[in-house]
């Protein structure tokens, strides 16, 4: 098994397909997670995950957060493929992977993913939170209109911001560095996540293997992905809250701004208390568990290998 060659293009395709299917199923919950994490103690728009989802679907529709499909798919493809790549090279000496080597492979996977996908992650945060900011402004305008003596104020014109508009503005004002805002916090979240997730998944999955040379049944891979994903997600949730806050370019009424990781951590602790670092943890577990469960099943089916094997036959 150690000497078996891997096809990196096939792994990337499998990871992309897996990510696309998984994200399609859970992206509304991921949107709720972002909005709940960005909510501070000022103007609270949502009381819970279900309240956030109901209000979002009413105002924006189910596919209001469809940006996830294009921005998150590469993240899953790179993470899954990179982990396989590092595990393959760390086991070339013919020895079984130790826990330390499994953690190193996860560390490498998380680092590769962050370097490539941080700009996509940042754009996703802006677009996911835009609805919350717009709803808050609309509510404030309505309250101002009611309290106005004239009561005939012009309603605010709602404009939708696109990923291209955000990208152009960041490149114009801050250059490439603007797209990597929150890189340190993203590393603090995704590298530990991968260090926890991949070894835990691999060892849970092994429990369902009757033979080391035969893949575990699909339901074992699914359950292993769910358990490992939710465990790793909750473990790094404080870092996810900090990352989300730092990457949000727009703020709601009376909401704090942050100069860096330490400043963000200090302000959240002092003004919102330690439980604020668990904001969205329930949503995040609900997102990550099925996302990685589905992803691992699709990934291990090996759709890309089947498609790539068919290519020479078509040429003939």
**Ramachandran angles phi, psi of 214, nearest 5°:** -120, 135
Q: Where are the alpha helices (DSSP H) in the chain?
A: 8-38, 49-60, 67-71, 73-90, 99-147, 163-174, 176-179, 183-206, 218-235, 237-247, 261-272, 281-301, 303-315
Question: What domains appear along the chain, each with residue ranges and CATH number?
Answer: 8-315 (1.50.40.10)
Q: Whole-prediction pTM value?
A: 0.78
Is 272:222 a contact under the CB 8 Å cutoff?
Answer: no
The pLDDT assigned to 2 comes to: 40
Q: What is the pLDDT along the chain (316 residues), one digit of tens a residue?
A: 344 555 777 888 887 887 778 777 777 788 888 888 888 766 677 888 888 888 877 777 655 445 556 666 677 788 888 898 899 888 877 778 899 999 999 999 999 989 888 888 888 888 777 777 777 777 777 777 776 644 444 554 555 666 678 788 888 888 888 888 889 999 999 999 999 999 999 999 999 888 877 888 888 989 999 999 999 999 999 999 999 999 887 777 677 889 899 999 999 999 999 999 999 898 889 888 888 888 888 777 777 777 777 766 544 4
Two tokens, residue 288? 């990550």
The CA–CA distances, whole Å, from 250 to 39, 62, 102, 133, 165 equal 12, 23, 39, 8, 14
The pLDDT assigned to 316 comes to: 43
Taking residue 271's Cβ as centre, other Cβ atoms within 10 Å add up to 12
Closest CA to 283 of 28, 1, 11: 28
DSSP, collapsed to helix, strand or coil, labels residue 101 as: helix
pLDDT in tens, 3-44: 455 577 788 888 788 777 877 777 778 888 888 888 876 667
pLDDT in tens, 215-248: 888 889 899 999 999 999 999 999 999 999 998 8
């Amino acid at each position: 098994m150690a000497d078996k060659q891997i096809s990196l293009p096939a792994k990337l395709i499998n990871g992309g397909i897996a990510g696309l299917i998984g994200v399609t199923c859970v992206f509304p919950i991921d949107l709720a997670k972002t909005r709940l994490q960005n909510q501070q103690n000022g103007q609270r728009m949502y009381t819970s995950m279900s309240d956030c989802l109901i209000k979002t679907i009413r105002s924006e529709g189910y596919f209001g957060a469809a940006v996830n499909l294009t921005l998150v798919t590469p993240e899953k493809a790179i993470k899954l493929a990179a982990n396989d790549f590092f595990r393959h090279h760390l086991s070339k000496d013919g020895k079984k992977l130790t826990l330390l080597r499994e953690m190193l492979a996860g560390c490498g996977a998380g680092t590769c993913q962050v370097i490539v996908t941080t700009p996509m992650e940042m754009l996703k945060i802006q677009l996911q939170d835009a609805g919350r900011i717009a709803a808050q402004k609309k509510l404030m305008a309505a309250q101002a209109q009611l309290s106005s003596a004239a009561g005939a104020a012009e309603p605010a014109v709602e404009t939708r911001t696109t990923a291209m508009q955000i990208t152009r503005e960041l490149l114009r004002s801050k250059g490439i560095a603007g797209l990597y805002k929150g890189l340190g916090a993203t590393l603090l979240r995704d590298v530990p996540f991968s260090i926890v997730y991949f070894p835990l998944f691999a060892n849970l999955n092994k429990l369902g293997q009757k033979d080391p040379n035969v893949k575990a049944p699909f339901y074992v891979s699914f359950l292993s992905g769910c358990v490992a994903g939710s465990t790793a997600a909750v473990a790094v949730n404080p870092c996810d809250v900090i990352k989300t806050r730092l990457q949000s370019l727009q703020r709601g009424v009376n909401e704090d701004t942050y100069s860096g990781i330490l400043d963000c951590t200090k302000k959240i602790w002092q003004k919102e208390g330690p439980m604020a670092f668990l904001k969205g943890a329930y949503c995040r577990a609900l997102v990550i568990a099925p996302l990685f469960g589905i992803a691992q099943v699709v990934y291990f089916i090996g759709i890309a290998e089947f498609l790539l094997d068919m290519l020479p036959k078509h040429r003939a």
